Structure 1
Amino acid sequence: MTVLKRRLGQYLYLAPTFLMLLLFVYYPIGVNFGYSFFEFNSFNPEKLFVSFENYIELFRDPIFYTSLKNNLMYVAISFIFQVLGGLVLAAILEDTIFRKVAPFLRTIYFIPVLISMAVIGILFTYIYNPEIGLLNAFLELIGLGNLATGWLGSTNTAIFAVIFVSQWQSVGYAAMLYILTIQKIPQELYEAATIDGAGKIKQFLYVTVPQSKEMMFVLSIYTITGSFLVFNEVYVLTGGGPSNASQVLSTYLFDKAFVDMESGYASAIANVMLILTLIFYFIQGKIFKTGEE
């Protein structure tokens, strides 16, 4: 009886969490899945059942493929800069050479994380300005004026300009998490590697990277999920333009739901985003073969 009461108490403690997840995560997912089979909008309570028509139309939509391509570029570049680049940056900041100035450098790299994306968007709008922007002025200064362009107004550069802003803001956050992990690595491992003749690069590859595997897994999930859900940067800087060149799935979903008033179609986009995110999660689990901690 005592064991039964203890287990019942454990379930009661967990019940509020399960209830919150059910109400605010799983129930909305189920409702949204159902909505994707209907044609409706927020101002009309009537729902017309269209079966898989929203999905068929979605996979024929060229803007959807542009958005998907941009999201995949977001994933690839964010993985390189945040998951991999963040680890390199953290290892450099934790090296004995930078030990005295490391606190100052950590603060410098982390400050962008604390700034609102609306403020960052306004800042980079001026930096990217083709007439008075700092970026074009810098290119002119170093003799690369032929590369100057309207970064946010060109279909060739808009998405890359937006992606760069995301990396500038987020790489410091990834580095801070890696720094916490590196500080927990036993110094004996580095001392043993030094005795075996390993230099800084080999110590990084054979000590730091394996010992940071769990954090790399967590950051991969965070980064890739964030890359599929990215909205603020695109909406503030370009609004998905020009000519949908910087459109991503979340901004396209927003346009369909609240501009074109096609809520059923937007629900289908949301479901595709969910499926893609889950696929990447399982792929990461297989690649890293970790996540238990």
Structure 2
Amino acid sequence: MLRKKKILPILFLLPSLAFLLIFVYIPLLQNFYNSFFDFSVFSQTKTFVGLENFKVLLADKVVSIALINNVKYSIISVVLQVGFALVLAYILEDKVFSRIAPFLRVVYFIPVMISISVIALLFGFVYNPQMGLLNSFLELVGLDSLAEVWLGKPKTAIYAVIAMSQWQSIGFITMLFIVAIQKIPKELYEAADIDGAGKIRKFFSITVPQVRESIFVNTLITITGSMLVFNEPYILTNGGPGFSSMTMSVHMYQTGFVKDNMGYASTLAIVIFILTAVLALVQIRLSRTGKDD
């Protein structure tokens, strides 16, 4: 009977373990194997090239541009999707907004439910240099000197892509923070009110420490997503103009399916995996999540 109780939990885990093995670990190992070969999408044979793909990687200037863009994506996303979303969630949970908070939650969450293709089409109109909403608004308020060809200039293209991503994603992170804030005991805020603490003091002394675990999870989600970002730059700019808005995932896709170099694309995939894994481990180490103070 005791042996049966020990085996039963393992049986429940087997489907999940099989899923991970088939769709995560085996393809990951296969990708490492492919990085040592030169082959195309439909080639019947693979040519062993050893570390040649890694030598090409070190000399690839597009990789450095893509990495810098991914870092920009990560920094801006953490500030807005985590920092601003936490402030927004705190404001929405304030008693002053209790009546309209449900409506505002829906408003902020709607972009999350919209297809990325639709959003890209929408922002294509927003960024249009002739009739776009952004340049029209700047002209309306007398700031027409700031109008740009947002997706057509190397200096602004990546930031325009990042802005679109923030508009879509902030609502999702805000909802996660709202759930975390709602779990904070009300007694803590009541005690702070008795002590005469203001809203800003309560935010930093109560809300932030109490949602520390949620901050870590949301930061991890945001940074990982920033390192893997593909849809937004691919649909809006395809990595252009030139390589100014290129990201690692777009570079990997173009290398594998446009340039038909699957071996080197596998090498780029390894770089993305290593960077994402290292960043996740560093965050776990620094945050000390799950540990008591």
Report what 1:133 is aligned to: 132
Task: Determine the C-alpha separation between the residues in 2 that align with 1:245 and 1:31.
Answer: 31
Report what 1:26 is aligned to: 25
User: How far is 1:196 from its partner?
Assistant: 2.2
Contact 1:217 1:291 in 2 (8 A): no
User: How far is 1:82 from its partner?
Assistant: 0.7
Report what 1:242 is aligned to: 241
2:177 equivalent to 1:178: yes
Q: How many residues align structurally?
A: 292
Report what 2:195 is aligned to: 196
Task: Determine the C-alpha separation between the residues in 1 that align with 2:232 and 2:103.
Answer: 27
Aligned runs of 1:111-150 on 2, under 5 Å? 111-150=110-149
User: How far is 1:32 from its partner?
Assistant: 0.3
Q: CA RMSD in A?
A: 1.1
User: How far is 1:128 from its partner?
Assistant: 0.2
2:160 equivalent to 1:161: yes
Q: Which amino acid aligns with 1:16?
A: P
Task: Determine the C-alpha separation between the residues in 1 that align with 2:11 and 2:118.
Answer: 44
Gapped regions of structure 1 (runs ≥ 5): none
Q: Which amino acid aligns with 1:72?
A: V
Q: Which amino acid aligns with 2:141?
A: I
Q: Which amino acid aligns with 1:227?
A: S
Task: Determine the C-alpha separation between the residues in 2 that align with 1:225 and 1:291.
Answer: 20
User: How far is 1:155 from its partner?
Assistant: 0.3
Task: Determine the C-alpha separation between the residues in 1 that align with 2:204 and 2:51.
Answer: 49
Task: Determine the C-alpha separation between the residues in 2 that align with 1:197 and 1:287.
Answer: 33
Q: Which amino acid aligns with 2:269?
A: A
Report what 2:62 is aligned to: 63
Contact 1:117 1:233 in 2 (8 A): yes
Task: Determine the C-alpha separation between the residues in 2 that align with 1:115 and 1:10.
Answer: 39
Q: Which amino acid aligns with 2:62?
A: I
User: How far is 1:215 from its partner?
Assistant: 1.0
Moved more, 200-209 or 46-55: 46-55
Q: Secondary structure at the match of 1:45?
A: coil
Q: Secondary structure at the match of 2:39?
A: strand
Task: Determine the C-alpha separation between the residues in 2 that align with 1:287 and 1:181.
Answer: 21
What TM-score results when the alignment is normalised by the length of structure 1? Answer: 0.97
Report what 2:51 is aligned to: 52
The CA deviation string for residues 187-244 of structure 1, in whole angstroms up to 9 with x for no partner, is: 0011112222221001000110111111111111111111111111111110111001
Task: Determine the C-alpha separation between the residues in 1 that align with 2:291 and 2:22.
Answer: 27
Question: Where in structure 1 do 4 or more consecutive aligned residues deviate above 6 Å?
Answer: none
